[in-house]
Structure 1
Amino acid sequence: MQKICIPKEEFQQRIDKIKEYMTKEQLDVILVYGDEYRKENLRYVSNYWPIFERGALLITTEGEPIVLCAPEGEQVAREMSVWPDVRLVPDFLCVTVPDEIEYPLAKFTSFKSLAAELRSRTGLSRLGIAGMDAMSEALLHNIREAFGCQVVDSNEILFELRKTKSENEIACLREAARIAEAGFRAMMDADLVGKTERYAAGIAEGTARKEGAEAIIFTVFGSGERSARIVGRAENKVIEDGDMLMCAMAVQYEGYVVTCELPFAVGNYGEETRYVLDVLIHAAAAGLPYLKAGVPMKDFVCAVRNYFRDAGLSEYDVYPPLHGIGCAEAESPYPDEKTEDVFREGMTVNTDISLFGLPGGSNRIEEGFVITKDGADSLFPSMRVYYEEWLKNSENK
């Protein structure tokens, strides 16, 4: 069976598009920064993802890109990166400590020597940085000093390129969703009453790893009264009969992240809890017809929020109900009721339809979709069946 991944040819296409932007903006070099916490841009252009260190990709208008990393991550960089030219820079050492760490076997280069090399290759009057907002002030200062040229923020090019997904990217997202759904289902099917939240989260996370998850980016968890914590962590609280369970698990596969969150309750739950589940599922159904290429993004947002308004629940609706997904768990677009942009074919989005603070408990729906010209294609087919059956049963009551 062929592995689902992004081929090198597609990485080359991304670099070519960036070079077109560089020519248009008169940029000689773009430095794409990343670390373990803000990996998305660097992963997108190189496939490299640092572990507790920093990394970057230097892109010039001529020649192949240069991967920059730190000594402990060198082999990881050589293993993961689609670009073979890997250099070590001392500025990218461990993110979390101020101490100077000695690496006597490392063969370091420097930003200054890199700048001299690039200056001789293509000239160096304007340097673009993608990920400037994720850098420390000290690191940005060192780069400015070493390159000695005009530095501009080039985040927007990466944000724009990442908005629309290729067939390979969508395939990676589908696999991430399959894995996430398998983990979530294993947790839902388990007898959780009397178990701790961490035990329940462990079922989902462990199953996802067994199914091939590259990483669990996060697991948000809360049961009973703790379900009202919008981004709460799983604790040692014991799950009780009738508790609402608010769990969102973000799974990464080949650099692509999908979050699975199906709202549910355990055991013999009451009518107030059932009402919360019911209104969330109906609000999601109200928005679904607007997830379609050519439709203004605000139409989806308004449909969901108007449903909550009509139900008198606006005070529990705490943030917009949709965002993009891809190399980050949440990325552009992140529309609100005023966003004029329209959905484009090939966009991938995640609903984030939530109510927090109701008497019956708090929860949200997170379901990934691929935008097509005919509508929205769910990344979670069995979850979609669950919602459709709920709606059908609700109509028959």
Structure 2
Amino acid sequence: MAYLIKAESQARIHKVQELLAANKLDIALVYYDEFNIGNGWYLTGWCPQFESGAVLVPGQGEPMILGGPESEPFAKLDSMITETRNFTVFMVPDEEYPNATIIDFKKLFEELTGRLGKIKRVGLVGAGRMPAAGYQQIVEGFSGVELVDITDAFVRLRYIKSEWERQQIRAAFKLADAAYDAMKAKTAKGVSEIEVAAAGEYAVRSRSASGFGFGTIVGSGARSNAVVPTASSKLLEDGELVMIGISPKVNGYAGVVGDVFAVSGSYTQRQQVAIDHLKEAFRRTKAGLAAGKTGKELDAPARAYFEEQQLSQYLVCPFVHTIGLHEAESPFFGPHSNDVLEPGMMICVDISFFGHPEFHGLRIETGYEVTAGGVIPLSPRMDAHFLDH
């Protein structure tokens, strides 16, 4: 069963076809793989395992999936786009499928010209992430065709979330609240990081999470310096801080929560100072959230605060980013960003620093829905928790 509903898929395909018309393009090829699922998932509500591929969207008519034979039956069952063609370049290397029909891009080009007429210009999405062999085969198979990179324009279609998308993200943040409770309850001396992660993952999988936006983060003590440390077999020790982060997905859309727990159950006086720095930077960032502001305007208040506190040398990540099919996706509102916060965006306030000689790495994070009248917490309880003095 597809995660994406038909009306959403059709509306998105129509937007891509409008983009093609505006740029005088005949078709679009939208690359995807397990590590770059967003652009393909946006159209299909689906991504293969093991294999990679592309969604082909013509200026008029029905789209198709270009992939490998192992994922073909999976796509026909679960994707909103079910017409498929198989290519060696998208398959598991050296695997054999003697009963599969496998073509090349020259054969596809002949089929498309017979169906659509002369093809002069093709828009590519995600070509920079595509294996060199895949790109070269497209160039050779589509001989004489102009290839145009439309990645930025395509990704901008994903900036403003539809009401259906916002519903999925709201639901994912509710799951993140459940994970938070489970992970906090599990945090204790002698428990492994993996056990803490497992508690959160079970809490959301048992509530029908469709997946995760990133590998669950549990970093205790110096391991938190890794910025995004996945859980290890290390045992938690008294006196340590534990940085946690989990990103459950609902129908492919991510929620998130990030916080810092004390293994002993309460912060020491010095640890509380570090947490207070995070919360103050959080409060200043949230106070500045407003539609119409640029990324550099959103980033400035927390950056100035960390400068005042002589902590800026430990900054790795900006403080505001959008969330959707990825836990962190474009636009990223960093210190040099001119991207504008707009109503309909779903964003996260993500405050962190890493590499501190005493506190190691710390992060707090939750999300908001942007409206013309302000921002609405996606997790009211985490919003209140981080704003609390």
Please say whether Structure 1 and Structure 2 have the same fold, judged by a TM-score greater than 0.5.
Answer: yes
Q: Distance in 2 between matches of 1:163 and 1:326?
A: 9
In structure 2, stretches of 5+ residues that fail to align are none
CA positional deviation for 1:338: 3.1
Residue in structure 2 matched with residue 253 of structure 1 by the alignment: 250
* CA deviation profile, 1:77-97 (whole Å, cap 9, x unmatched): 112211232222222102xx4
Give the structure 2 partner of residue 284 of structure 1: 282
Q: Are 1:132 and 2:131 an aligned pair?
A: no
Aligned position for 2:380: 381
Percent identity over the alignment is 34
CA distance in 2, matches of 1:381, 1:128: 42
CA distance in 2, matches of 1:90, 1:17: 30
Q: In the alignment, is the contact (CA less than 8 A) between 1:196 and 1:236 conserved in 2?
A: yes
Q: Which amino acid aligns with 1:180?
A: A
Match status 1:233 vs 2:227: no
Question: In structure 2, the residue corresponding to 1:218 is in which secondary structure?
Answer: coil
**Which residue of the partner structure matches residue 57 of structure 2?**
59
Q: Quote the Cα distance in structure 2 between the aligned partners of 1:311 and 1:344.
A: 31
For residues 130-172 of structure 1, the C-alpha deviation after alignment (integer angstroms, 9 at most, x for no partner) is: 1111111011101111111111212112211011111111111
Aligned equivalent of 2:333: 335
> Residue 4 of structure 1 contacts residue 168 of structure 1 at CA under 8 Å; is this kept in 2?
no
TM-score by length of 1: 0.92
Map Cα deviations across residues 277-334 of structure 1 (whole Å, 9 max, x no partner): 1110111011112222122332220011111112222122222112121112221111
**Structure 2 counterpart of 1:109, from 79, 103, 110:** 103
**1:68 has 2:66 as partner:** yes
Whether 1:207 aligns to 2:206 is no
SS of the residue corresponding to residue 63 of structure 1 reads: coil
Letter in 2 for 1:114: L
**Is 1:370 paired with 2:342?**
no
Q: How many residues are treated as equivalent by the alignment?
A: 384
Which letter maps to 2:154? Answer: L
Alpha-carbon distance in structure 1 between the residues aligned to 2:383 and 2:353: 20
Aligned to 2:113: 119
**Which 5+ residue runs of structure 1 have no aligned equivalent?**
392-397
Deviation at 1:263, TM superposition (A): 2.3
> Aligned AA for 1:386?
H
Report which stretch shifted further, 39-48 or 106-115: 106-115
The AA in structure 2 aligned to 1:142 is: Q
Q: What amino acid is aligned across from residue 130 of structure 1 in structure 2?
A: V
Counterpart position of 1:143: 138
- Equivalent in the alignment of 1:395: none
Q: Scaled by the length of structure 2, what TM-score is found?
A: 0.94
1:1-397 superposed matches below 5 A: 6-94=4-92, 97=93, 99=94, 101-122=95-116, 123-148=118-143, 149-216=145-212, 217-267=214-264, 268-358=266-356, 359-388=358-387, 390-391=388-389
1:4 to partner: Cα distance: 11
Rate the CA distance shift 1:84–1:229 in 2: closer, same or farther, 3 A: closer
Question: Would the aligned equivalents of 1:34 and 1:50 in 2 still touch at CA under 8 Å?
Answer: no
1:285 partner SS: helix
Relative to 1, partners in 2 of residues 1:238 and 1:103: Cα closer, same or farther, differing over 3 Å? same
